[in-house]
Amino acid sequence: AQKITQTQPGMFVQEKEAVTLDCTYDTSDQSYGLFWYKQPSSGEMIFLIYQGSYDEQNATEGRYSLNFQKARKSANLVISASQLGDSAMYFCAMIPGYSSASKIIFGSGTRLSIRP
């Protein structure tokens, strides 16, 4: 079964601290893509970072990095030096397989709140 699991419904973190958002996935496909999106209260879905299943190095984009542990099927998002503007809902997602028919699968999300 294709599935994304985010076990943290909500997190509170002090400003400037690093934060790790957990994500595990399940797929029988050898090729897949993993994504993280941020959804602020205004509603738009903002793409943050991508990791391909064959990528050997962890993806990084500015303050975002993806801790990809393939054997454990985990793709945790790490935000370094958190900012107040990081407060939002975060969704882990996966596109299994590399066909045009593949649909993106979302986790249930983690609501991150940054305290000043």
Partner 1 sequence: GAVVSQHPSWVICKSGTSVKIECRSLDFQATTMFWYRQFPKQSLMLMATSNEGSKATYEQGVEKDKFLINHASLTLSTLTVTSAHPEDSSFYICSARGPANNQPQHFGDGTRLSIL
**How many angstroms from the chain centroid is the CA of residue 32?**
14
Token pair 């790490």: residue:
78
Indicate whether 102 belongs to the interface with partner 1 (CB under 8 A): yes
Among 21, 23, 25, 35, binds partner 1 (CB under 8 A): 35
Please, which residue, 103 or 115, has the CB nearer to partner 1? 103
What does DSSP say about strands 10-14 and 110-115: parallel, antiparallel, or unpaired?
parallel
DSSP-based three-state secondary structure for 84:
helix
Among 23, 91, 112, 114, binds partner 1 (CB under 8 A): 91
Among 108, 112, 113, 115, binds partner 1 (CB under 8 A): 108
